[in-house]
Amino acid sequence: MQTDMGKYNLQSNQKKISPVTTVTTGTITAATATSTESALRIGRTAGARGLRIGMALGLAGLTAILNVSLAAAPVPQGNTTVTQGSNPSNPSDMRRTAIVVATEKAAPSVVSITVHHSAVVAYGNPFFQDPFFDFFGPQYRKKEMSSLGSGVIVAKDGFILTNAHVVGSGESGELEGITVTLSDGRQFAAKLVGVEYANDLAVLKIKADTLPVAQMQERPDNMIGEWVVAIGNPYGYLISDTKPTVTVGVISAVNRSFSSNSGIHYHNMIQTDASINPGNSGGALVNVDGKVIGINTFIFTGGGQSQGSIGLGFAIPIQKAKSVMDELIRFGYIREFTTGIYTDPNGEDGRPGVTIVGLDRASPGEKAGLKVGDVIYEVAGKRIDSFQDIQDIFKLLQVGESVDILYLRGNAKLRTQMVLEEKNKKHRIY
């Protein structure tokens, strides 16, 4: 603490010296002068010491007050409250952060998935390289293959959410079986309930008791910059540990949309810089409350030899994953829906949007107030520039969903909500 000493007036209690005893013919003796200077020095020293002692006592009192206040003030750490200074001998209290608590809540519900496929493949026999043996034809054999991924237990009756690409497609060969390994080491044969390739989601089911079930986020209130934890099983249990791996990052962006060469359309994805590595697909993206907010799905890599995470990972929002899961559990497939809207695939004079050229009576489009001639230029927050754009968006939607639509009627910009209904045979899907 720095103090301006010039603001203080230090005075000594010196006495006036009698001229009779101390002064002779106007001359101050050496003894008298020395006595006076000593008295002045003593006075100044005493005053300065008094000031320093007072300041030191004041600072000590202030420090004591602050320490008492800090010790009494609880500091929230996620779902754990830590009292600073309450137990200085136990540093573990300070290490138990919100990330630790969230991991403890969610990690037990993340499982390792091993998928077994078989395929008949052609192979070359070195003894049949001679053209003489061409009449034997090509040689084939059955090849066993396995792939690894992650999943999340989302219901106590054994339902597990994962990615469709973890389970594989018909090109992967014939499905021979699926094994699910829990974090406590238990293993179960899993049944494939259903797959939805357009959204890259699949549902499995195991028969087991006392399953750890993940808590899912109810509404998408994700914040850019908030901490998240990616939990999965890179390399499965090949590293001799059935417990999942945890990486930490933040939500980098929301509502990211992509289309892949394989025909999969990813809509409203959550972007994170938490590392998502091969084998993490199908695992959980968790917030600091320990709630699953997404299913880890894919990453962008550096290309070439760099196949690991570069801080660009993406997860399917859990709300979308849950709606797909509910459809697969209830029906075994995703029901087709209708809008009852017919549009001009060629657009109008190159301007953005698609023009409505027909409407089914009592269809969702008509119920939403749309009319022939209206130009739809935005659906579900996505700009429509072509007929393909509107098709790609509707491929990601499901029966019962409410869709926000912006359209032009003349020069007026209008907005409406359309609820998708299950498709009848006479209705088109878009």
Q: Which of 427, 419, 377 is nearest to 402 (CA)?
A: 419
- Residue pair 127/186 in contact by the 8 Å Cβ criterion: no
Instruction: Choose the catalytic residue: 200, 273, 374, 389.
Output: 200
Residue type, 350: G
Give the three-state DSSP class for 26.
coil
> What are the residues whose beta carbons fall under 8 Å from the beta carbon of 178, sequence distance 6 or more?
113, 114, 115, 116, 167, 189, 190, 191, 192, 204
State both tokens at 382: 């996505």
Instruction: Choose the catalytic residue: 109, 117, 165, 323.
Output: 165
State both tokens at 414: 């209008």
| Cα 33 → chain centroid | 83
Give yes or no: 281 in active site: yes
C-alpha–C-alpha distance, residues 358 and 355, integer Å: 9
C-alpha–C-alpha distance, residues 408 and 410, integer Å: 6
Give the three-state DSSP class for 149.
strand
Strands 284-287 and 227-232: antiparallel
Give the three-state DSSP class for 199.
helix
Strands (E), 273-401: 284-287, 292-299, 313-317, 337-338, 341-343, 354-359, 375-379, 382-383
Q: Which of 202, 178, 175, 208 is nearest to 190 (CA)?
A: 178
Give yes or no: 267 in active site: no
* Residues paired with 203 in a beta bridge: 161, 194
C-alpha–C-alpha distance, residues 166 and 111, integer Å: 13
Instruction: Choose the catalytic residue: 150, 183, 281, 309.
Output: 281
- Residue pair 180/110 in contact by the 8 Å Cβ criterion: no
Residues labelled as active-site residues: 165, 200, 281
